[in-house]
């Protein structure tokens, strides 16, 4: 079961990160000791192979926001904390104590920008230990106080470990360096920064500049990034977004918003049949229907996540067909009528969205990439026959690894003589999660203000 959870693909959530949920240990109305206990439970769960979202679902409601903030912080700095804990206590304590100790160390790590005073962190961590594992309280106190006394020397020693220096597993650092030698360090640093909150404005209701004006009336500063994309200066709860409940706006990363316009770029007439494969949670499904009157079928094998597609369409006042099925087994669900266009948002490592999901880097293993690549190949091969001649397929992954992007398409084009890369609109290829003004020397490494993505627009050739 643990292995299966690691292999489970992660996709960008439909509503993004709650306001300030990713900020480092912001003060809460609950005592820090309580939040540290819940944070330690979450960190322990992630180290055991469970997603952070699943772990947080067990957290009591009043403590969830504060726990999420601490957990995001702890997972972003976990590599550093683990290295220094190994120096201080080479023999790991019991898992529940270790998770608490690691969580506290991330709040004391130099440069981590935690919002609590050092003595508060130590005192509250000891109090949490007394409640959770009373016999370990003295040990926790001794380790944390020694770290504060010798912090400069211990930090310098810990940073000799690349996993501590970059707060990613060593294999991840090595793979990224191999794929993007000129950009790897910037990508790793960017992964520990708080992600921006992007909005997608419902094209059937208004434009991005019009919505920016509405936000300004509510005292919310934002920037229009085109006809439908808006970036907030500061994240905020969706409850504060005017018109959210009425379907005027959704939360979706800027890079993810490229999918629907790319697939529709060559023009699809009203009623065109479009397949959104691996569709949950449904942001791209909704975007397609916002832009054109299409006959969209959204397929996903996860029935629970598929419900979110229907809920999103209902909120936006859109109509589409949802189908719980394995997209890679079309014989079980396809009616035999070809599709005019297919969006394959393939399961992947989610390496491009670690700013929003800091647990991903600790859940994945190097061997997972090979398994993901096999799944991506299987989906490409299974869905291509469903496309009509001259139809187009958009292959997308939220990954920065070439083995889940360009390598997969290169291999597919070698297998299929009736497939080619569309020229208009041009495929973006790999989008790296770097600032707009980040210099790049190759079209294969385009900077993006949003998440890391890969897009390839393919067309079916006559043979």
Residues recognised as catalytic:
398
Dist CA 394 CA 453 (whole Å): 12
The encoded tokens of residue 407 equal: 């390598």
Dist CA 103 CA 58 (whole Å): 18
Contact 100, 107 (CB under 8 A): no
Sign of CA dihedral 57, 61, 63, 65: positive
Burial class (CB in 10 A: 0-12, 13-18, 19+), 159: middle
Closest CA to 8 of 301, 286, 276, 333: 301
Sign of CA dihedral 142, 145, 147, 152: negative
What is the DSSP annotation of 38-100? HHHHHHHHHHTT--HHHHHHTS-HHHHHHHHHHHHHHHHSHHHHHHHHHHH-SS---HHHHHH
Interhelix angle 78-88/151-158, nearest 10 degrees? 110
Distances (CA, A) of 304 to 18, 41, 282: 21, 25, 12
256, β-bridge pairs: none
For residue 281, say if its preceding peptide bond is cis, omega within 30 degrees of 0: yes
Distance of CA 426 to the CA centre of its chain: 25
Rg (CA), the chain: 23
Contacts for 150 with CB less than 8 Å, ≥ 6 apart: none
């Amino acid at each position: 079961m643990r292995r299966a959870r690691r292999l489970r693909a992660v996709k960008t959530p439909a509503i993004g990160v709650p306001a300030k949920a990713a900020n480092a240990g912001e003060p809460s109305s609950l005592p820090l000791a309580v939040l540290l206990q819940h944070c330690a439970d979450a960190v322990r769960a992630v180290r055991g192979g469970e997603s952070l979202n699943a772990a947080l679902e067990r957290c009591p409601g009043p403590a969830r926001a504060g726990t999420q903030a601490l957990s995001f912080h702890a997972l972003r700095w976990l590599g550093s904390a683990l290295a220094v804990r190994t120096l201080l206590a080479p023999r790991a304590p019991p898992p529940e104590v270790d998770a608490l100790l690691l969580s506290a160390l991330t709040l004391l790590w130099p440069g981590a920008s935690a919002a609590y005073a050092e003595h508060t962190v130590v005192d509250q961590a000891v109090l949490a230990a007394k409640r959770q594992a009373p016999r370990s309280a003295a040990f926790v106190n001794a380790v944390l106080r020694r770290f504060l006394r010798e912090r400069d020397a211990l930090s310098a020693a810990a940073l000799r470990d690349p996993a501590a220096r970059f707060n990613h597993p060593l294999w991840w650092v090595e793979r990224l360096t191999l794929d993007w030698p000129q950009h790897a360090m910037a990508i790793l640093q960017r992964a520990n920064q708080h992600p921006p909150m992007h909005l997608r404005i419902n094209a059937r209701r208004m434009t991005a500049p019009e919505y920016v004006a509405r936000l300004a009336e509510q005292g919310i500063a934002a920037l229009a990034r085109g006809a439908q994309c808006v970036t907030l200066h500061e994240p905020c709860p969706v409850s504060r977004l005017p018109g959210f409940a009425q379907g005027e706006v959704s939360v979706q990363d800027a890079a993810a918003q490229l999918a629907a316009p790319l697939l529709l770029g060559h023009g699809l007439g009203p009623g065109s049949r479009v397949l959104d494969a691996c569709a949950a949670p449904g942001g791209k499904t909704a975007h397609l229907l916002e832009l054109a009157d299409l006959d969209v079928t959204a397929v996903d094998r996860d029935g629970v996540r598929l419900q979110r597609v229907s809920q999103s369409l209902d909120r936006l006042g859109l109509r589409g067909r949802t189908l719980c099925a394995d997209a890679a087994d079309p014989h079980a669900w396809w009616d035999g009528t070809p599709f005019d266009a297919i969006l394959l948002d393939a399961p992947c490592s989610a390496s491009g969205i670690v700013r929003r999901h800091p647990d991903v880097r600790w859940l994945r293993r190097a061997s997972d990439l090979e398994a993901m690549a096999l799944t991506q190949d299987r989906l490409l091969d299974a869905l291509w026959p469903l496309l009509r001649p001259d139809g187009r397929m958009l292959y997308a992954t939220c990954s920065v690894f070439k083995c889940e992007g360009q390598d997969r398409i290169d291999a597919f084009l070698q297998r299929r003589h009736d497939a080619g890369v569309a020229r208009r609109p041009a495929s973006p290829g790999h989008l790296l999660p770097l600032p707009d003004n980040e210099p790049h020397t190759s079209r294969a490494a385009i900077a993006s203000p949003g998440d890391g993505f890969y897009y390839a627009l393919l067309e079916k050739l006559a043979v």
